Amino acid sequence: MSVLTIVFVVVCLVFAILFLIDCIRLRRQINVYVKSGIVCGLIAVAIDTAIIPLIPGFFSIMPIHRLIVVDVLALIRVTLFTCMGMYCCSVLNISAFPMTRLLREAEERKHFFSGSFFMCVATVAALSVGYSVVLFTLISPSPSEFLRGLSESQSARFGLGGGPSLLTAVVVLEFAFAEEIIFRLGIQNYLARIFRLQGGRYWIAIVLTASFWSLGHANTLDPEWVKVAQVFPLGLSLGFVFRRYGTETCIFIHGAFNLIMMCLGSHLIEW
């Protein structure tokens, strides 16, 4: 495990502890967001559960009691980050889930889906994929030793090898959903609230979050800096997209990017 990965894990733990303390301290203000947090947590668990029928003999690999523990922890984590993120957004006067709200309002929904949303998703995803293709073509990265070992063990246990599949698609979509809840909704707005980065200073929270999110992708490719260089611009883009379009649009962009890169990965990375 690289130093960058260790730093990322430690900072993740620190954020989780801070969020838990703040949720307890501000429980009266945050209670109003608990229902939304639980819904997001259940969605994360549902996506995770969708993997089970795609893996033959799943319960012989992961006993049901261990799966329950993993799902409960995922439910708590996503619920916690959603509640804190929504509270911070309310303080910052940002709409956390504008699409969900607009679905209930016909006139507003028509305006929102007039084309700008789809253009935003397509443009950011396409530019991010194009940049990745150019970067990987120029550098010709290879999987890190850590990723090779992880891929071999996971392929043997869960059948994740052999290129794109429905199973890997579900996995990368799960990553997109959870990461946008944790980073763009949770951490980005928490930093903005704590350091009072409203208005014109909000970009600082975006840069900090994108930097931290990029660290989580370290130790996956060789040279190590390539993966960080690939995802950092995407992190910045998602941060600014969140500010205008909210969490749902970020999830769509991140999911589209993950699916396309899943299909292109074997052609761009020398395994």
pLDDT for position 269: 84
Q: Let me know: does 83 contact 34? Beta carbons within 8 Å.
A: yes
Single-letter code of the amino acid located at 210? A
pLDDT for position 156: 46
Among 61-65, 168-172, 245-249, the least confident range: 61-65
Residue 3 has pLDDT above 70, yes or no: yes
Residue 246 has pLDDT above 60, yes or no: yes
Q: Tell me the C-alpha to C-alpha distance, in Å, between residue 164 and each of 48, 129, 170.
A: 18, 16, 11
Among the listed residues 268, 255, 263, the one whose alpha carbon sits nearest the alpha carbon of residue 226:
268
- Higher-confidence residue of 49 and 163: namely 49
pLDDT for position 38: 96
Q: Let me know: does 131 contact 233? Beta carbons within 8 Å.
A: yes
**Per-residue pLDDT tens over the stretch 103-154:** 666 555 555 556 677 888 999 999 999 999 999 999 999 988 877 776 665 5
How confident is residue 205, by pLDDT bands cut at 50, 70 and 90? very high
Cβ neighbourhood burial of 117 (10 Å; 0-12, 13-18, 19+): middle
**Per-residue pLDDT tens over the stretch 21-77:** 999 999 999 999 999 999 999 999 999 999 988 888 888 888 898 999 999 999 999
What does pLDDT average to over the chain? 88
Single-letter code of the amino acid located at 55? I
Neighbours of 163 (CB within 10 A): 10
Please give the Cα distance from 123 to 4 (Å, whole number).
30
pLDDT for position 193: 96
Q: Give the mean pLDDT of 222-248.
A: 94
Among 86-90, 112-116, 260-264, the least confident range: 112-116
Please give the Cα distance from 178 to 33 (Å, whole number).
17
Report the range out of 157-161, 164-168, 184-188 with the highest average pLDDT.
184-188
Q: Which residues, 6+ apart, have CB-to-CB distance to 76 below 8 Å? A: 41
Cβ neighbourhood burial of 12 (10 Å; 0-12, 13-18, 19+): middle
Q: Let me know: does 224 contact 183? Beta carbons within 8 Å.
A: no
Please give the Cα distance from 190 to 94 (Å, whole number).
12
Report the range out of 100-104, 161-165, 254-258 with the highest average pLDDT.
254-258
pLDDT for position 176: 96
